[in-house]
Amino acid sequence: MHFIGKFDEKRLSPIPKFHNHSEGYTVAPLIDQRSGSVHTELAVNQLAANGTVSAHVHSYEEGFYILSGRAVVMIGENTHLLGPGDYGAIKVGTIHAWRNAGSESLRWLQMAAPQPKTNDDVKDTWFLKGGKIPTEGKPFDPGNRNGSLLGHFDMGQIPPMSERRDVMPGLEGVFLNWLIDSKFGASHHRMAFIEYQPGVGIGPHDHTFEESYFILDGEIEGILDGEPYVARPGDVLWTGVGCVHSFKNKSNGPVRWIETFSPQPPAENAFRFMAEWEKRAVEIER
């Protein structure tokens, strides 16, 4: 199973559970149960100028990557001033709150896992009585996380080709930078920044976990469950467990995206490449 969609500003709308607990807060869904997913919720979140989200906790884990604007974000006991390229993980049950720290709209890509509840009779979000909304915070220092699960990565940090290490054999020209994973401190999902150089691709394979791909820059051709697609900035692709998929950059420039994984991949056999098993089948069946 797979899904292809696109970020549309017209889909930005208030979330009922945040009624009376936010100002200027809207969300545009990208991946959720309506897409066929059972593990992943992916969305573009927006806070208008002077917008706020009151202090609250979830029974699920969140990961975020700031696309534009500036935010004052309270996570647990720490408050930070964050901007484009900053990212973080908010563990299950961690108190957090948001404020737009600029005069323009703030936008971030947000991942939630396990997937939030859609049944209003089953709560997964609670707001603190009299919870504070942060007013200011210190700029985040990537060299001193101070206990927070935060980091920074943007396109300007992509190393030149001569300084890259291959992700795995056969994937020369692919750059991958893990943003959020178990080493970072997350338990339920991963998030990565990925770049494919022109002419680079990955052969048909599948996984025991769901993946989503939010295109930031460039153009990629994908084949999902045998169906071809072309994805460009603002597009999102999602592959379910067992979906055979492949990608190739047939354009003249690099393509870059934010990729999410849920549940977290297993320690072994995270990829099942069709070509490898076809080759082994010939050897076994001689």
Residues 10 and 142 in one domain: yes
Cβ count near 56 (within 10 Å): 19
Please tell me what DSSP assigns to residue 282. Answer: H
Residue whose structure tokens are 């069946």: 285
If one counts every other C-beta atom within 10 angstroms of the C-beta of residue 272, the result is: 14
Of 128, 152, 176, the one marking the end of a domain is 152
Given a cut of 80, whether residue 241 has pLDDT beyond it is yes
Given this model, what pLDDT does residue 8 score? 95
On whether both 200 and 277 belong to a single domain, the answer is yes
52 & 177 share domain: no
> Do 136 and 201 have their domain in common?
no
Residue 171, pLDDT > 80, answer: no
- Give residues with Cβ within 8 angstroms of 105, minimum separation 6: 46, 47, 48, 49, 68, 69
225-230 average pLDDT score: 97
Structural domain of 224 = 156-284
Q: Do 169 and 71 fall within a single domain?
A: no
| 148 shares a domain with 168 | no
Instruction: Tell me the C-alpha to C-alpha distance, in Å, between residue 172 and each of 50, 141, 203, 227.
Output: 45, 32, 13, 25
Taking 90 as the threshold, does the pLDDT of residue 276 lie above it?
Answer: no
Q: Are residues 101 and 7 in the same domain?
A: yes
- The residue among 118, 152, 186 that closes a domain is 152
From 121, 152, 183, give the residue that closes a domain: 152
Using 50, 70 and 90 to split pLDDT, how confident is the model at 68?
very high
Spatial separation of the C-alpha atoms in residues 18 and 8, rounded to whole Å: 21
171 and 93 assigned to the same domain: no
Q: How many residues does the chain have?
A: 286
pLDDT over threshold 80, residue 82: yes
Number of domains within the chain: 2
Rounded-to-integer distance, Cα 60 and Cα 91, Å: 7
Question: What's the confidence (pLDDT) of residue 120?
Answer: 73
pLDDT exceeding 70 applies to what percent of the chain? 99
Is 78 in the same domain as 164? no
CATH of the domain at 257: 2.60.120.10
Co-location of 27 and 147 in the same domain: yes
Torsion on CA atoms 13, 124, 108, 213, rounded to nearest 10: -100
Same domain, 176 and 137: no
| pLDDT at residue 37 is higher than 80 | yes
Are residues 143 and 261 part of one domain?
Answer: no
Most confident listed range (16-20, 77-81, 242-246): 242-246
State percent of the chain over pLDDT 90: 78
Residue 286 has pLDDT above 80, yes or no: no
Query: Cβ(24)–Cβ(50) under 8 Å?
Result: yes
